[in-house]
């Protein structure tokens, strides 16, 4: 039987059988998981959830960005900023 011959329900059941014993598709750090569970609480306001997930302080600046800024400052001085 090919994928096209299956209904989405049958495909989902097959996926579950194939994944038996595999705990997660993606591993999440325990602290991050705790935050996500707290944010899913119905009592938590949507605006607060959005703010918490999109807070730039929760994500480090990519190394490539830091290196690009350092390179620009070295070549053009502080005016590059």
Mean pLDDT, residues 9-31 taken together: 82
Mean pLDDT, residues 55-59 taken together: 81
Mean pLDDT, residues 60-66 taken together: 88
**Nearest alpha-carbon partner for 55 in 81, 75, 35:** 35
Q: How far is CA 48 from CA 32, 35, 38, in A?
A: 16, 12, 11
**Nearest alpha-carbon partner for 52 in 37, 63, 62, 67:** 37
Boundaries of domain holding 19: 3-80
The total number of structural domains in the chain stands at 1
Prediction pTM value: 0.40
Within a 10 A sphere around the Cβ of 11, how many other Cβ atoms? 12
């Amino acid at each position: 039987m090919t994928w096209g011959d299956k209904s989405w329900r049958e495909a989902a059941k097959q996926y579950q059988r194939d994944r038996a014993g595999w705990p997660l598709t993606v591993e999440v750090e325990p602290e991050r998981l705790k935050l996500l569970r707290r944010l899913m609480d119905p009592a938590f306001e949507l605006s607060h959830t959005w703010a918490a997930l999109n807070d730039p302080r929760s994500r480090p600046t990519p190394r490539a960005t830091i290196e690009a800024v350092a390179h620009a400052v070295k070549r053009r001085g502080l005016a590059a900023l």
